[in-house]
Amino acid sequence: MTSSAIIPNAIEPIADLPIDDGLAAALLNSVAEYGAQLHGRRVWLACSGGRDSLTLAALCVQLYRQGQLPFLPQLLHVDHRLQADSQHWAVHVANWAQAQQIPCYILSAQVKGHDEQAARQARYDVMRAHINQEDVLLLGHHADDQAETVLMRLIQGAGVNGLSGMQPWRIQTQGAHRIALWRPWLTVQRASISAYAQCLKLPYIDDPTNNTGDNVRSGLRRDIMPVLAKYNPNVIDNIARSAQLLGDAEATIRAQAVQDLQQTVMSSLQLPPAQRVLNIDELETLPLYRQRQLLHYWLGQDEPLPPTKQLIDEVLGLSQRKDHDHQTELFWQGRKQSYIIRRYRQQLYRLSSEWLTWLKMPLEAQTYNLSDLIVAAAHSADNPSVSISLRTSKHFTWQVQMLPHALAEMLKIDTDKVEIKIAPLDRQQRVQIAGSSRPQSGKKLYQTLGVPIWLRESLVVVSVVLLNEESTEQSKNESVKDIPILLMSPFDSWILGQILDSDDFIRHSENDAFSKYIHNHLSVDNSC
């Protein structure tokens, strides 16, 4: 059984058939342009079996067999199972590839939804999962596709980035996995591809849904493009050229935004992609149009689709407020995850929802005998430190790392009589920051130290606990001295300057040494 959608041409080897000079030149020019990026990388060709992808596959076979193309791509065909004949199409593509002696893999995709975007996402997901890190995915998009893409984005209200259309070479990142999308035919018209497919008598698949007009792209193709061509026969080339010029403009704007970001970013508070922070004072030194461009770039980091103009305007308004209201939240549902945009004092925060959930996880008090920590560190000759987890989840880990041997040398007393305690800061607990004139409660310290509301449950006090060897159960409270040394958040630490009696073994001037031997380690799994 076959499919009526398959053009009834026989499957024949095409390596020795005539080559279309224009299509070959477009491909080989792109190979030359991206030669450095292509060097040493495996190339895959996304082949639906349709006219465009099958013709590109055929040209690759011809140029490779004739020694003009330095590589032969491997074909990837995705069966979405959205069409009744999709299994026949997969078999047909595999048979054609076998006749050309080109490797071919058939992949199955589960589409979540029924629209074109859902099918496209499923297709890319399954191909990305199949190919390796840094591989290249070759795509058969052409100038007509580019023109349709630009028009689609124009009627959706896109900016320069969207109107620049598809890029001939783009790095696509999913978590830590990176691949390159390569489109060498964006300057080639569909008519040229159709003529060459007919010349080769390719048995391509003519998907009946391509021109039904039941989605925006096919509607533009069927109803709008022919009308525009009446006004200007060169409309496809002109739109493709405009997209290229807009792409150059976008690159310029992006470079400026990257430079502005370096000026405004709060480096010490960055935890991509969970938390990104801008300095509002620095932001306001920029002209208004560059503020908008920077916010567009800043918000859209880590996301495949850019934020809306409405969101950018709302964030800009938030940065311009002078009423010191720290409660306002702006919500953005990105493609990968959702975000909350907040302001605290003169900083703008873009916080992922997963990060905010993690920050609400309770912290538990932990106490360790210093002798035990020294023994634990001794098991690792290369790294004489120990790590104590404060809060951990699938994506985020917060640890305190210590050098217990160095601590023991500084304390100069029997380590069996010393404990290190790490406990959450209570709102009523009073501690004294080094350099301040008096102790303050946790509630006051939040404001003094400028700790944002969502980080206030993530402050811990590190204390040295001195144990009196003469202590008994009855006199335990009198024989223990708890000396707070450091206050820590996931991003910062503060020396606690206890004013101690002269006979205490820790002097006020020595407290800062503890920050050298006890420090934060905050990590994030970037696949989140």
Are residues 350 and 429 both part of a single domain? no
Instruction: Decide if 16 is inside a domain.
Output: no
Are residues 182 and 272 both part of a single domain? no
395-423 mean pLDDT: 84
User: Binding site annotation covers 48?
Assistant: yes
Instruction: Decide if 4 is inside a domain.
Output: no
Instruction: Decide if 483 is inside a domain.
Output: yes
- pLDDT over threshold 70, residue 2: no
Are residues 233 and 315 both part of a single domain? no
Q: Check residues 82 and 138 and name the one with the higher pLDDT.
A: 138
pLDDT at 338: 95
The per-residue pLDDT for range 26-65, each reduced to its tens digit, is 999 999 999 999 999 999 999 999 999 999 999 999 999 9
From CA 170, how far away is CA 192, in angstroms rounded?
A: 25
b/e 112-148 (16+ beta carbons within 10 angstroms → b): eeeeeeebebbbbbbbeeebeeebbbbbbbbbbbbbb
From CA 435, how far away is CA 440, in angstroms rounded?
A: 12
User: Binding site annotation covers 53?
Assistant: yes
From CA 459, how far away is CA 446, in angstroms rounded?
A: 9
pLDDT at 135: 96
From CA 294, how far away is CA 227, in angstroms rounded?
A: 38
Are residues 378 and 414 both part of a single domain? yes
Instruction: Decide if 41 is inside a domain.
Output: yes
User: Binding site annotation covers 52?
Assistant: yes
pLDDT bin (cut points 50, 70, 90) of residue 304 is confident
pLDDT at 503: 44
User: Binding site annotation covers 50?
Assistant: yes
Give the global pTM.
0.81
Min mean pLDDT across 242-246, 254-258, 275-279, 484-488 is at 484-488
Instruction: Decide if 423 is inside a domain.
Output: yes
Burial, 315: exposed, middle or buried (Cβ in 10 Å; 0-12, 13-18, 19+)?
A: buried
User: Binding site annotation covers 51?
Assistant: yes
Instruction: Decide if 438 is inside a domain.
Output: yes
User: Binding site annotation covers 49?
Assistant: yes
Q: Which CATH number do you get for residue 112?
A: 3.40.50.620
Average pLDDT, the chain: 87
Distance of CA 453 to the CA centre of its chain: 26
Are residues 340 and 437 both part of a single domain? no
Residue after which a domain boundary falls, among 214, 247, 280 = 247
From CA 159, how far away is CA 157, in angstroms rounded?
A: 7
- pLDDT over threshold 50, residue 500: no
Residue after which a domain boundary falls, among 216, 247, 278 = 247
pLDDT at 110: 81
pLDDT at 511: 55
Are residues 203 and 54 both part of a single domain? yes
Are residues 486 and 429 both part of a single domain? yes
CA distances from 489 to 400, 455, 462, 480 (A): 10, 8, 11, 26
- pLDDT over threshold 90, residue 305: no
Are residues 371 and 468 both part of a single domain? yes
Are residues 351 and 366 both part of a single domain? no
Residue 428 sits in which domain range? Answer: 361-524
From CA 277, how far away is CA 299, in angstroms rounded?
A: 10
- pLDDT over threshold 50, residue 509: no
pLDDT bin (cut points 50, 70, 90) of residue 387 is confident
Are residues 293 and 238 both part of a single domain? no
230-249 mean pLDDT: 94
Residue after which a domain boundary falls, among 342, 357, 372 = 357
The per-residue pLDDT for range 131-189, each reduced to its tens digit, is 999 999 999 999 999 999 999 999 988 889 889 999 999 998 877 789 999 999 999 99
From CA 292, how far away is CA 279, in angstroms rounded?
A: 14
Candidate ranges 21-35, 218-232, 300-314; pick with highest mean pLDDT: 21-35
